[in-house]
Amino acid sequence: QVQLTESGGGLVQPGGSLRLSCAASGSFFSINVMAWYRQAPGKERESVASISRLGNRDYQGSVKGRFTISRDSVKNTVYLQMNNLKPEDTAVYYCNALAVRSGVTGTLQSYWGQGTQVTVSS
């Protein structure tokens, strides 16, 4: 099983910055993809950014040029550097990991963190 521990959320003014962290722990063979999702009240959860084991990155169009996803494979940690934050970025941000649980079976499973609140307001 994989546990995801998130941190870094908070209240920030428009134009400010935050860095989210998500550390994976527990029993797993490898993590293929780590990603950030977000969900605002009354809205569907949406993808924000992802990074593969090989370092390929994908971003939602509205955050391109402002957010940067990175990873530390040794620490099994993914980061989301958020710059020039806007009120519309306000949401609960969730970490997600697609991990191989066992090197024997090669089974892939998706895991979610508990979420961290990001509020952008003046």
Backbone phi and psi for residue 31, each to the nearest 5 degrees, phi listed first: -115, 120
pLDDT for the residue 84: 98
Tokens of 76: 């099994």
Instruction: Provide the pLDDT confidence category of residue 67 given band limits of 50, 70 and 90.
Output: very high
pLDDT for the residue 1: 81
Backbone phi and psi for residue 63, each to the nearest 5 degrees, phi listed first: -110, -5
Instruction: Provide the pLDDT confidence category of residue 104 given band limits of 50, 70 and 90.
Output: confident
Mean pLDDT estimate for the chain: 95
Contact residues for 32 (Cβ-Cβ < 8 A; gap 6+)? 52, 53, 98, 99, 100, 108
pLDDT for the residue 29: 87
Instruction: Provide the pLDDT confidence category of residue 107 given band limits of 50, 70 and 90.
Output: confident
What 3-state class would DSSP assign to 120? strand
Tens digit of pLDDT for each residue in 5-61?
999 999 999 999 999 999 999 988 889 999 999 999 999 999 999 999 999 999 999
CA 41 to chain CA centroid, Å, is: 18
CA 60 to chain CA centroid, Å, is: 12
